[in-house]
């Protein structure tokens, strides 16, 4: 595992939080610091000035590395936190989109819908929505120790615009807590399509099933929402039990 700092982005000039490279004194010590200490340095930098695009970006990268070493709940490296800092970094410096698309520190996050939004995908068109949802996993809101009671995985092929034209497969996974305290999973297969306006059409149990078709729209955070209160999250539940 590399020491924190080896793969981190370096300041390029005023665009990075409106500071010159010489003003990032804390960067000079990062190669000698473990990730935990680097997190504290980036947090201190943001505490002094929350407009550092570079500090937001490198804090996200360091947390992403930390969660590969240890349980994310032990080091406050949950996905929500990482993606919040990434989104803020891109908001402050849009050119960071190009960097994060190829940054190996975020390779494990590339399939998350919410990661794909800071990476440049736009949800307000069918093409943009497809970039966000294709091959992605969405989760029912978390419930206590069981976590997410259900999730579904969309097929990664190009979908039709209507279920009647031929739905792509979607793998539905339902979790339940038994009397013995063990969590079990049940698998069913449904179908999905993507309408011309970017609405995701979800058939939870396949053609002819009893469950109604859900018409879901992406929100700004990469979650799916339906008119009847349906909600599928673009991130799994973490550290909530």
What's the rounded Cα separation, in Å, for the pair 129 and 138?
Answer: 14
Q: What is the pLDDT of residue 183?
A: 86
- Whether residue 16 lies inside any domain: the answer is no
Tokens 């259900």 — which residue? 150
| Residue 142 shares a structural domain with residue 228 | yes
Q: Check pLDDT > 60 for residue 13.
A: no
Nearest CA among 203, 236, 217 for reference residue 137: 236
φ, ψ for residue 86 (rounded to 5)?
Answer: -65, -45
* pLDDT tens for each residue of 94-109: 999 888 889 999 999 9
| Percent of the chain whose predicted confidence (pLDDT) is above 70 | 84
**43 lies in which domain range?**
21-110
Q: Select from 110, 139, 167 the last residue of a domain.
A: 110
Beta bridge partners of 213: none
Handedness of CA 121, 124, 128, 129 (dihedral sign): positive
The two structure tokens encoding residue 58: 């490198």
Residues 198 and 160 in one domain: yes
- At 172-187, the pLDDT tens digits run 999 988 888 888 999 9
Per-residue model confidence (pLDDT) at position 198:
94
Instruction: Name the pLDDT band for 63 (thresholds 50, 70, 90).
Output: very high
Read off the pLDDT of each residue in 73-77 and give the average, rounded to a whole number. 87
Residue finishing a domain among 110, 141, 172: 110
Question: Would the pLDDT of 220 be above 50?
Answer: yes
pLDDT at 182: 86
Q: What is the pLDDT of residue 55?
A: 92
């Amino acid at each position: 595992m590399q020491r924190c700092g080896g793969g981190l982005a370096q300041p390029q000039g005023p665009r990075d939080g409106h500071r010159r490279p010489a003003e990032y004194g804390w960067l000079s010590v990062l190669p000698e610091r473990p990730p935990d200490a680097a997190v504290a340095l980036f947090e201190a930098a943001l505490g002094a000035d929350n407009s550092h695009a570079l500090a937001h970006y490198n804090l996200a990268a360091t947390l992403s590395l930390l969660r590969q070493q240890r349980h994310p709940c032990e080091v406050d490296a949950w996905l929500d936190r990482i993606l919040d800092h990434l989104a803020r970094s891109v908001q402050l410096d849009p050119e960071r989109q190009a960097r994060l698309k190829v940054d190996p520190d975020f390779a494990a996050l590339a399939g998350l819908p919410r990661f794909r939004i800071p990476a440049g995908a736009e949800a307000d068109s069918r093409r943009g929505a497809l970039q966000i949802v294709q091959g992605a996993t969405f989760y029912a809101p978390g419930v206590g120790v069981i976590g997410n009671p259900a999730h579904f995985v969309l097929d990664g092929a190009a979908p039709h615009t209507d279920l009647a034209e031929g739905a792509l497969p979607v793998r539905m996974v339902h979790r339940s807590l038994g009397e013995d305290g063990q969590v079990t999973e049940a698998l069913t297969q449904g179908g999905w399509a993507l309408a011309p306006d970017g609405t995701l059409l979800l058939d939870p149990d396949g053609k002819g099933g009893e469950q109604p078709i859900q018409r879901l729209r992406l929100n700004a955070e990469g979650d799916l929402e339906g008119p009847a209160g349906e909600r599928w999250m673009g991130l799994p539940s973490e550290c909530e039990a």
